[in-house]
Structure 1
C-alpha cells in the first residue's frame, strides 16, 4: 500500500501540512501515516540521567495522547477520508519522519515554518533534514498566509506597536 507520511505537531504550520498530506493521500489512494516524534525532557541526555523505564513509559503515553489530540483537532470525528495510522516515535522529528518514509513509493509531507536566525541556532530545521536524507519524494508545505499574518500581529503586540486599521481593510 502506498503511504503519505506527515509529521504531527499540533502547530498551525503542522496542521496545514497535515491537511495537505490528507489531500495528497486521497488523490493518490494512499494510507496517511501521522508521525509524532517525542523525547524525554532534557533529550537523550535526560533519559540517561534519571528517566527510568516507568518515566519513559509515561512520556510515551503522553505522546500517544498528544497525537490523538492533534488528529482529533485536525480531522474531528469525520476523519481525513483515507485510512489513517498514527505512530509515536522516540527520537528527533527529522530522523523519525525519514525512517517512517523509507520506501521510495512513499511521499513525505513536512511543514516549513518561519526560520528566524534565532530559531536556526536553537533548533535545526526538520524540513531541511528530511529533504537531505529522505529516500522518497518530499513535499515541503509553506505556512498558511493567515499564520504569517497572525505572527505579524503577535510581533506587533510584543513590541507594543499600534495597529494601523487601514491594514485590516486591505
Structure 2
C-alpha cells in the first residue's frame, strides 16, 4: 500500500531481544529512521515455553504470563536506553511488547512498516549459524524490505 506524500513516513520496525545483535540492529534502525524523518517501533516478543509434561504427573510451577512480559519489557527498555545513550541525536522510539512467536510478531508489525531491521543472531542460536531462525524467516516472508545487521 503506497504512502501519500502528506502522511508521516511509516515506522522502521526493529526486533529487540536484549542481545548485542539487537543493540546493533536498533542503532542502525534509529539512524535510518532519522535519515527518513521517521520513527522507530522497537518490538520485543515473548511466549510461554513449551511444556511436554512429566512422567510423575506434576508440572513445576511457571511464572504467570505477566512475568514473561515484564522480563521482555525490561530487556527492551534496557536496550533502548543503552542505544539512545550511544547516539547524539536519536530518532523517536516507541516500544511494544507482544505475546507470540518472535517471527510472527515481527511479521505482523512489518505490515505497516517501511523497513524491518533485525540482528543476524539473537539469544538462543548456535554461534556458527550466520542467520538465526527468526531472521531467516523474516528475510523470506516479510511484507516489507528487511535489513539484517551483522554481529558487531
TM value normalised by structure 1: 0.67
Name the CA distance, whole Å, in 2 between partners of 1:31 and 1:89. 19
Aligned CA distance change for structure 1 residues 26 and 57 (closer, same or farther; 3 Å): same
Give the structure, 1 or 2, with the largest relative contact order (CA under 8 Å, sep 6 or more). 2
Q: What is the CA–CA distance in structure 1 between the aligned matches of 2:71 and 2:148, rounded to whole Å?
A: 27
Structure with greater Cα Rg: 1
Q: Give the structure 2 partner of residue 85 of structure 1.
A: 94
Task: Quote how far apart the aligned CAs of 1:16 are.
Answer: 0.9
1:23 aligns with 2:28: no
Backbone CA RMSD of aligned residues: 3.2
- Paired residue total: 137
2:84 paired residue number: 75
- 2:71 is matched with 62
Could you list the per-position Cα deviations for residues 80-120 of structure 1 after superposition, in whole angstroms to 9, with x for gaps in the alignment? 622211011111111111111102x5200111139758769
Runs of 4+ in 1 over 4 A off after TM superposition: 49-52, 77-80, 114-120
Q: Which runs of 5+ in 2 are unaligned?
A: 1-7, 54-58
Rounded to whole Å, the distance in 2 between the matches of 1:29 and 1:137 is 17
User: Structure 1: any 5+ residue segments left out of the alignment?
Assistant: 145-170
- TM-score of the superposition, structure 2-length normalised? 0.74
